[in-house]
Structure 1
Amino acid sequence: MSKIKLVTLDIDDTLLDDNQIISEANMKAIHQAIDLGVKVVLCSGRTHTGMKEYLDKLGINGNDQYIITNGGSIIESVAGDIIYKKTLSNKTYREIDAFIQKNELHYNVVDVLGNTFTSNNDFIDPYTIIQAFENGKGLFIRTPDQLPENFEITKAIINENKIKLDSIEDSVNQRFGQNYYIVRTGDGFLEIMPKNIDKGSALASLADFLKIDISETMAIGDGENDIPMLKKAGISIAMGNSKMKIKNMVDFVTSNNNESGVAEAFSKYVLN
């Protein structure tokens, strides 16, 4: 029986190679872990729908398997039963929208059902279009005033090129950082999420729900938004394609996402 009972696993640039494919080696290692009774939990900024293709390919399904979506805002069973969620109110959406309009930025927000919304109507950035397509829930052009007072979002994502995001990141943190969790999830993506919500807090909550000691958990990731779960997990694994900052803080650096680094990590810590 594996000492590791729960693995949280990032998707993009971790589980998937650069062609968005799960390698045969990664697939085999995950299947073997599940056969041993290990909970393998996809943990991503994606929505449930955005994960479904990969869950199906891995054969992870049912009410006794789990996913962490929207960067940690929602913990749910693969069957869709929500165990935990924390959202941002329409009031917060208004505050974010006002900041966006004032600074002439592009962004989108995601609700608890995975629908994508933006109030931008002059130009819809490509990431927003891609995200709406991946979520399979449609893209809605709405201002906060056009939505119900009880409308909730899981996060807001500012989408700009790297140079522009670099120039406004400090001002976003100054405006929202005290009350919300701000994380750069890529060169062109800056996310605003509920305070104290991240992949690490979601890992701890799910482990507690499953009555698994945190020392019996493992996390694998490559990006800035993976840092909280890498810090929280009993064993932390950075992908070979991670930045040096992340490699320097983990227990083990595995091969990169094009070399089945996930399978290597499973072989070393889960399947031994």
Structure 2
Amino acid sequence: MALATAVRCLPPFQPSSLSLSRSFLLRPLPQFAVFKSAQNRIRCVNSGHVLEESAFGFRHGPMRVTFRLLEDESKRSLSTWGIRDAGGNLKNGVQCRAVPSSPPPPKEAAVEVPVIVDDDLDEADSSLLAVVEQLKLDAPLAVKLAIEGFEDFDQSDTVELSVLLCSDSRIRELNKEWRRKDSPTDVLSFSQDQPAGSPLTLLGDLVISVETAARQAEERGHTLIDELRILFVHGLLHVLDYDHELGPEASKEMEEEENRILSALGWKVKGLIYSSSVACDTNGKTTKGLGLAELDSDRDSAVISKTKFKVLFCDMDGTLLNTKSKITQKTADALRAAMDAGVTAIIATGKTRPAAMAALRPVGLAGAGGLLSESTPGVFLQGLQVFGRKGEIIQNITLDLGVVAETFKFSVEHQVPLVGFTGDRCVTLFSHPLIDELHDIYYEPKAEVLESVDELKKVGIQKVIFLDTAEKVASFLRPHWSLALKGRATVVQALPEMMEILPSGVSKGLGVQILLDHLDVPVEEVMAIGDGENDIEMLELAGWGVSMANGAARTLAIANAVTSSNDEDGVARAIEDYIL
């Protein structure tokens, strides 16, 4: 008898029937062996119907029925299954075969890749037309391979990525507009921010210079269509959030994915990362391993995406300021561009607020409408003084009076210059050329000379800085005070020739965290740039921490990325790479 007939013979389903049937199923009856396989279906030999396993048995349409295996479990490949009523009586018997179950195939989204030829190219060129037609065939195949396994596309009916083929002059315009690089490149990737689960998923747009591609094809010894395939795959992976500039591991991952896609499609070429890192020496031998710095040139492709970073924290000495304690016009322009893009740029420094404003004033970044004013948020004095919305003070911490007295007595006895910082003031017990440099070079308020330690105690010192040669700081001052303070205060360094003593448990990173909580900004939306050991906590806290190339060894080690040095406009480069 067919299984469908057997099911029609069942009485209407009642909740009580399910209850009795379930208890019957759980009874230890030796003649019955329950079929245990959540990954199997039951195919009826008589009818070919397939039933899917449910909580208490199997489901057929809206009906719930309970099955019993009437033979030994070891012979279940072809067994008689019975449909029992609520009383446990066998109503019908059919032979069913257990067959391996395979999940239904996932819905495959249609892939559309329109390829557009820009007006500045000769569309009548027969060789160009042939390449375009081939790319129209190749591109959707590459997209399908690239998005395999991405859950983001499970609910999509269509996935679309558009391609514009253009000249060097056109891509140069776009490169200058979006990346501030006035030179042609090979491919630009414009990613599209879009919620997951949309029926139509727009990956973004790729712009490829055919002229640059032709030159690179000749240099690398393959055809133009091969080079376009390489550039297409590279740009495609960028819009899927691969980024070789994030470090060696990210570069290796993206290189492997490029080569996987190209190889799977039978294209006998290597990806752009591999190709760009192979050079010919004077003997004609190829060598691999030029590294990320050489790969990151104006000719290399870049991804342009609406930034996920809403806040940028930036250190000053050794970061914004070059070795001449100046901010270059290029760095100032990059900061303005970031602010114009909607990013809130915030200073996080060991300086006082007046000193930070004095450093920013020559490039027009201080005052109303600038990066810093008396009504903008900021972190100063290594996090001891934090200003929130509209410039209100949300943290103001002072140093232990015992530590203040001890450090200044030491300064007088050993004639080591020492400056105390209190709000917008600097104080000391004696004049010294190195103390004058704090004002003349580092923009700090001119130090006031007080008469005694007792006077110092009255002003509320927040931190102190010892000034000496880098060698003496490293060999004498830092070891001495690290031991002498014994947890009563913290020793940090921003510059080799300066050693700072702060209250215990306070740091620039903590000041940044307090300000983020005040502004209600998640760390994932934060990028931070710094160079010194005092910046480590801030870089670790941020969603993206960037170290200057001139950074301390420990800072370089913990950073997510490393930019150029402070004498090479490293801040400007980091903003261009990760924000603009």
Q: TM-score range by the shorter chain?
A: 0.7 to 0.9
Q: Is 1:151 aligned to 2:459, yes or no?
A: yes
CA distance in 1, matches of 2:568, 2:469: 29
8 Å CA contact 1:89–1:152 kept in 2: the answer is no
**Structure 2 CA distance for partners of 1:145 and 1:61, relative to 1, 3 Å:** closer
The DSSP-based 3-state class of the residue aligned with 1:116 is strand
Q: Is 1:119 aligned to 2:404, yes or no?
A: no
Q: Is 1:17 aligned to 2:325, yes or no?
A: no
8 Å CA contact 1:62–1:78 kept in 2: the answer is no
Q: Is 1:67 aligned to 2:67, yes or no?
A: no
Aligned pair count reads: 266
Aligned counterpart in structure 2 of residue 87 of structure 1, from 398, 401, 406: 398
CA distance in 1, matches of 2:445, 2:418: 18
8 Å CA contact 2:317–2:494 kept in 1: the answer is no
**Structure 2 CA distance for partners of 1:132 and 1:140, relative to 1, 3 Å:** farther
8 Å CA contact 1:183–1:192 kept in 2: the answer is yes
CA distance in 2, matches of 1:231, 1:142: 42
CA distance in 1, matches of 2:421, 2:572: 32
Pairwise CA distance, 1:63: 6.3
2:345 is aligned to 40
Structure 2 letter corresponding to 1:15 = L
TM-score normalised by length of structure 1? 0.88
Q: Deviations over 1:9-51 (max 9, x none)?
A: 1112211222333223322221122123322111111111101
2:267 is aligned to none
The DSSP-based 3-state class of the residue aligned with 2:558 is coil
Structure 2 letter corresponding to 1:190 = M
2:302 is aligned to none
8 Å CA contact 1:73–1:87 kept in 2: the answer is yes
TM-score normalised by length of structure 2? 0.43
8 Å CA contact 2:348–2:380 kept in 1: the answer is yes
Q: Which one scores higher on RCO, CA 8 angstroms, separation ≥ 6?
A: 1
CA distance in 1, matches of 2:390, 2:463: 22
8 Å CA contact 1:125–1:159 kept in 2: the answer is no
Pairwise CA distance, 1:78: 9.1
- Structure 2 gaps of 5+ residues are 1-305
**Structure 2 CA distance for partners of 1:13 and 1:139, relative to 1, 3 Å:** same
8 Å CA contact 1:182–1:193 kept in 2: the answer is yes
CA distance in 1, matches of 2:375, 2:537: 25
8 Å CA contact 1:60–1:78 kept in 2: the answer is no
CA distance in 2, matches of 1:246, 1:233: 13
Matches of residues 41-56 of structure 1 in structure 2 within 5 Å?
A: 41-56=346-361
Identity of aligned residues (%): 27
8 Å CA contact 1:44–1:68 kept in 2: the answer is yes
Matches of residues 1-272 of structure 1 in structure 2 within 5 Å?
A: 2-56=307-361, 57-58=364-365, 59-61=370-372, 65-76=376-387, 80-113=391-424, 115-120=425-430, 124-133=431-440, 134-147=443-456, 150-165=458-473, 166-271=475-580
8 Å CA contact 2:357–2:373 kept in 1: the answer is no
Q: Deviations over 1:42-95 (max 9, x none)?
A: 111111110113444222245663221111111125975322111114443112
What's the C-alpha RMSD, in Å, of the aligned pairs?
2.3
CA distance in 1, matches of 2:356, 2:526: 21
CA distance in 2, matches of 1:222, 1:11: 9
Structure 2 letter corresponding to 1:155 = K
**Structure 2 CA distance for partners of 1:78 and 1:61, relative to 1, 3 Å:** farther
**Structure 2 CA distance for partners of 1:20 and 1:169, relative to 1, 3 Å:** closer
**Structure 2 CA distance for partners of 1:108 and 1:136, relative to 1, 3 Å:** closer
CA distance in 2, matches of 1:21, 1:137: 19
Q: For structure 1, which segment, 88-97 or 257-266, has the greater mean C-alpha deviation from structure 2 after superposition?
A: 88-97
CA distance in 2, matches of 1:98, 1:204: 34
Q: For structure 1, which segment, 30-39 or 40-49, has the greater mean C-alpha deviation from structure 2 after superposition?
A: 30-39
